[in-house]
Structure 1
Amino acid sequence: MSVSSKFYHFSFAPKKLVVERDKIEKKFKDLDDTLIETGTIIKLPQLLELIRKTQIKDIENILSKFSNFDIRVMMYEYPFTNEKHDDQIKINHILTALYKSEFGKIIWKLYQEYFSNEYLQSILISSYSKESDNFLGMPEDISVLFGEALLNKAGINMGLVDIALKSSDILSNVFKQLKVVKESSLERKLIEGVLLKGVKSNKIFETEEMKQIIEYLNKMPLNVYQNILKNYIEVREYKKFDDAILKNAINRLLNPKDDDKLWDFLDDTSMIKVKKWINQAKLKEVFEQDKDNKRFEYWKRFNDFFEDVEVIRNPLVAFMYFKDFVVVEFGIMGAAYFYHKTGFDELIYPRINSFKFRNSRSNSTKENMLKETITEYQGIELFINKLTHLPVDTWPVKKFDPQMSIYLNELPK
């Protein structure tokens, strides 16, 4: 067994006697371990053979044949995964009938590594029933909730997840009250359950810091991470997405506009949400140096009309693609240039890959290459309009809205 167990020969309550007990236990620790290991080798096979040959209906008749030492040896070796179903039931019955107070701690520790074992689940429930008033020294209110979790129809772990989600405390404190061992298999499973269920509402974001949530997410296996993200995205509009969560997702799964292989867990509706968030994030990047934030607030209104938003970073420029036209905005506020889509794709966009553009050290030179006022070139429609962001207080409503209404035949509501 990977989880060692400690059994006390001495049970003193007063503080000084408790200290003395610890000294005695330390002195005889090696002897204690040796005795149990020897008992496991010599006595356990005999005990198991007795259990195997006894029918379930007669199990009460053999309880008197088990000494305290025998029970400790069995608990030391638990769980007995190689035994048959009926024999494991009999073992549980014996350990429950001859239960010792120190067994609760051992069983709970074992459960945290082997929580899928149905016999361990059963004996944990039995163990709690023996000490429900003060199980493992849990606070009374937590002990009551723990008992309810053990009987949860969806399983013990989901019951524990519900305790965490209903608490107003952070996960680490809840786990501490529940005596969940750090880095145990159970802790990882509970964090997984809390995230899978918790991201469907805002509850977890009200109690846990975003930095901690991201840390939990980063520890999740890929398939679990994807399921958590799926639950998060499906219940929210893209405008309600937290930047930290989506940035983390793109960092781990890549930008789906460039490579969507790791995003195949999303349906079309959810994928559209993600891409709209990406468009909005790109606009925020381009306009973040504006003091009044007006350009960002203006253009994000049109996110539902965008076919795409592309950003280049040296110089900082946004290309906003609509159905029939493209708007070019620059990081350093100046004028917005409107182009026919075909003309932009064929005449303006290729310039960013030209030798002159790539090798120029002047951002103003590069920006000027994207500012074209020729309405037509070799039969291709190009320039539509150029609008400045002046007057500062009225340009969105008095200058841009009338033109956008013409180009789109409508404005965002």
Structure 2
Amino acid sequence: MMENKTYYHYTFEPLKLKEQRVKVEKVFKDADQALAKQLSRNKLPKLLELIRQVSFDELETFAQQLKRMEVFVLLYDYPFKDESHETRRKINLILTYRYSVQVGKIAWGLFQQDPHDVFLQDFLRLIYNTDQFEFLVSEEKSNDTIRTALLERAGIVAGLITSLLTSTQPTQSQLGNLKVQQDSLLEKELLKGVLLGGLAQQSYVQRDGVDFIVGRLERYEMDEYKTLISVYLESRSFKEFDYALMTQAIKRLENPLERPMHWDVMSPSIMEQVHKWLLHNKMKQFFEQDEDNARFDYWKNYLNQDYILDVDVIKNPKAAFIYFERFVVVEFGIIGAAYFYHRVGFERIIKLESSLPEFRDGSKSKREEILKRKNPFEQGLPLFIDRHGHHGFSWPQKFTMHMRNYLDGRF
């Protein structure tokens, strides 16, 4: 015979009732804590003396005989760092024998403010053996995170950091699942540990997102920030640097060409990549008005191959000086011809003249005349090599043919 079942068109969740329950729980929790603190001055010394005297064999019976408020006196005065190891171990066992959900929640809150106290960590392990942290987590993944962390020999914080890093969930979601309090010492240590262990991995950066990482990094003092951003920079080439993270680094540490002392903890390999990123970004901004991006795409290939050593940009007229080992290329903001000069002549003649007040105060035609010299020699120095236009689809191939000769020293 088939069982008759009733199917409902609507289901309701008592949200208001839940809200009221939370309010009532908070009221009674606050009342318990206030009363426990009030009684602590009179009851705690005698209670601790009894605990010191009782044996481990009699401890469970002793715990069961304690009044509810005496248990709360122990709980709210935890962790008793001035007591002996034996007494602290007894207190852990007493609170475990009289375990309740409230005991678990308070212990987890205490741990977040003092995450390295070994007896508090042992207390949490005892709680887990009692109820598997049901007061805290309901998801199986979160339960696995807690269990793995509790078993970590290096401590619960180290175990949590490992779990946070290996999960596919964003760090922020995991901390929410574990009810980690915002700005608690535990949150600060977990986030710093995750950044130290994760910034070298692109998978972590993608998982947590650049916006989240930038926001966290902004909170650190300068020394800590330098340590963290160096982890990110050390593990990748400039082509993999994220624009937002680099913009933040330049803003906080300033341009290393102008303030090298602010980058003092960075290795030479890091600074080489940072310098290349600056050149890459400078060229990208210079050529951004080009519709097809062709000039930028062309020159960045030489930067990627370490041929470009430096880039200078002037505003009036808009021009970029692209430095190679033996020669310099001058590109202009308005697409036209690129001018190629011997580096020694360029630096001693054109570069020098373009930095003088007479250049800045001169007419537009006069300034362009200085930058578009066509004399093979001036002042006894080799200067002009050639000029090549960007017109037509085949200009990159023509440029490359000439560039091969110039890079080999054949002018």
TM-score category of the 2 structures, normalised to the smaller one:
0.7 to 0.9
Closer, same or farther: CA 270–77 of 1 in aligned 2, 3 Å? same
Question: 2:235 matched to 1:238?
Answer: no
Contact 1:336 1:388 in 2 (8 A): yes
SS of equivalent residue, structure 2 residue 163: helix
Contact 1:133 1:140 in 2 (8 A): no
Hey, what does 1:76 align to over in structure 2? 76
The Cα of 1:152 is off from its aligned counterpart by 2.3
Hey, what does 1:262 align to over in structure 2? 262
Contact 1:325 1:340 in 2 (8 A): yes
The Cα of 1:351 is off from its aligned counterpart by 2.8
The Cα of 1:311 is off from its aligned counterpart by 2.5
Q: Which amino acid aligns with 1:390?
A: H
SS of equivalent residue, structure 1 residue 212: helix
Closer, same or farther: CA 350–85 of 1 in aligned 2, 3 Å? farther
Question: 2:168 matched to 1:168?
Answer: yes
Q: Which amino acid aligns with 1:321?
A: Y
Equivalent-residue separation in structure 1 for 2:21 and 2:248 (angstroms): 51
Contact 2:127 2:133 in 1 (8 A): no
Matches within 5 A, 1:236-315: 236-303=236-303, 304-315=306-317
SS of equivalent residue, structure 1 residue 70: helix
The Cα of 1:180 is off from its aligned counterpart by 1.2
Closer, same or farther: CA 268–183 of 1 in aligned 2, 3 Å? same
Contact 1:287 1:293 in 2 (8 A): yes
The Cα of 1:210 is off from its aligned counterpart by 2.0
The Cα of 1:290 is off from its aligned counterpart by 1.0
What percent of counterpart residues are identical?
A: 39
Closer, same or farther: CA 46–315 of 1 in aligned 2, 3 Å? farther
Matches within 5 A, 1:208-219: 208-219=208-219
Q: Tell me which of 340, 355, 358 is aligned to 1:356.
A: 358
Contact 2:230 2:266 in 1 (8 A): yes
The Cα of 1:328 is off from its aligned counterpart by 1.6
Matches within 5 A, 1:117-156: 117-132=117-132, 134-156=134-156
Equivalent-residue separation in structure 2 for 1:236 and 1:273 (angstroms): 9
Hey, what does 1:403 align to over in structure 2? 402
Equivalent-residue separation in structure 2 for 1:219 and 1:130 (angstroms): 38
Equivalent-residue separation in structure 2 for 1:154 and 1:365 (angstroms): 71
Contact 1:338 1:386 in 2 (8 A): yes
Equivalent-residue separation in structure 2 for 1:99 and 1:109 (angstroms): 15
Closer, same or farther: CA 107–214 of 1 in aligned 2, 3 Å? same
1:332-377 C-alpha deviation (Å, 9 max, x unpaired): 22221222222222211223332233346x7665444322222222
Q: Tell me which of 309, 332, 357 is aligned to 1:330.
A: 332
Equivalent-residue separation in structure 2 for 1:389 and 1:27 (angstroms): 76
Equivalent-residue separation in structure 2 for 1:169 and 1:30 (angstroms): 34
The Cα of 1:194 is off from its aligned counterpart by 1.9
Q: Which amino acid aligns with 1:404?
A: M
Contact 1:192 1:224 in 2 (8 A): no
Question: 2:170 matched to 1:187?
Answer: no
Q: Which moved more, 1:111-120 or 1:126-135?
A: 126-135
Equivalent-residue separation in structure 2 for 1:169 and 1:34 (angstroms): 39
Contact 1:192 1:220 in 2 (8 A): no
Hey, what does 1:380 align to over in structure 2? 381
Equivalent-residue separation in structure 2 for 1:198 and 1:30 (angstroms): 39
Contact 1:142 1:178 in 2 (8 A): yes
Hey, what does 2:37 align to over in structure 1? 37
1:173-198 C-alpha deviation (Å, 9 max, x unpaired): 22111111223222222222222222
Equivalent-residue separation in structure 1 for 2:369 and 2:183 (angstroms): 57
Closer, same or farther: CA 352–158 of 1 in aligned 2, 3 Å? farther
1:71-125 C-alpha deviation (Å, 9 max, x unpaired): 1111111122333444333322322233222111111111112112222222122
SS of equivalent residue, structure 2 residue 134: helix
Contact 1:111 1:120 in 2 (8 A): yes
The Cα of 1:205 is off from its aligned counterpart by 2.9
Q: Which moved more, 1:14-23 or 1:198-207?
A: 14-23
The Cα of 1:17 is off from its aligned counterpart by 9.2
The Cα of 1:42 is off from its aligned counterpart by 0.8
- Unpaired runs of 5+ in structure 2? 1-13
Contact 1:339 1:383 in 2 (8 A): yes
Closer, same or farther: CA 124–387 of 1 in aligned 2, 3 Å? same
Equivalent-residue separation in structure 1 for 2:369 and 2:277 (angstroms): 29
Equivalent-residue separation in structure 1 for 2:290 and 2:313 (angstroms): 16
Question: 2:345 matched to 1:343?
Answer: yes
The Cα of 1:166 is off from its aligned counterpart by 3.3
The Cα of 1:383 is off from its aligned counterpart by 1.8
Contact 1:169 1:207 in 2 (8 A): yes
Closer, same or farther: CA 128–366 of 1 in aligned 2, 3 Å? farther
Q: Which amino acid aligns with 1:306?
A: I
Q: Which amino acid aligns with 2:372?
A: K
Q: Which moved more, 1:289-298 or 1:371-380?
A: 371-380
The Cα of 1:284 is off from its aligned counterpart by 0.7
1:253-277 C-alpha deviation (Å, 9 max, x unpaired): 1222222223232222222122112
Q: Which amino acid aligns with 1:345?
A: E
Contact 2:33 2:72 in 1 (8 A): no
SS of equivalent residue, structure 1 residue 134: coil
Q: Which amino acid aligns with 1:389?
A: H
Contact 1:132 1:144 in 2 (8 A): no
1:119-142 C-alpha deviation (Å, 9 max, x unpaired): 222212222221116242432331
Contact 2:64 2:98 in 1 (8 A): no
Equivalent-residue separation in structure 1 for 2:246 and 2:389 (angstroms): 33
The Cα of 1:143 is off from its aligned counterpart by 1.5
Q: Which amino acid aligns with 2:335?
A: M
The Cα of 1:389 is off from its aligned counterpart by 1.0
Contact 2:318 2:333 in 1 (8 A): yes
Hey, what does 1:88 align to over in structure 2? 88
SS of equivalent residue, structure 1 residue 251: helix
- Unpaired runs of 5+ in structure 1? 1-13
Equivalent-residue separation in structure 2 for 1:306 and 1:202 (angstroms): 27
Hey, what does 1:10 align to over in structure 2? none
Contact 2:137 2:178 in 1 (8 A): no
The Cα of 1:216 is off from its aligned counterpart by 1.6
Equivalent-residue separation in structure 2 for 1:146 and 1:26 (angstroms): 25
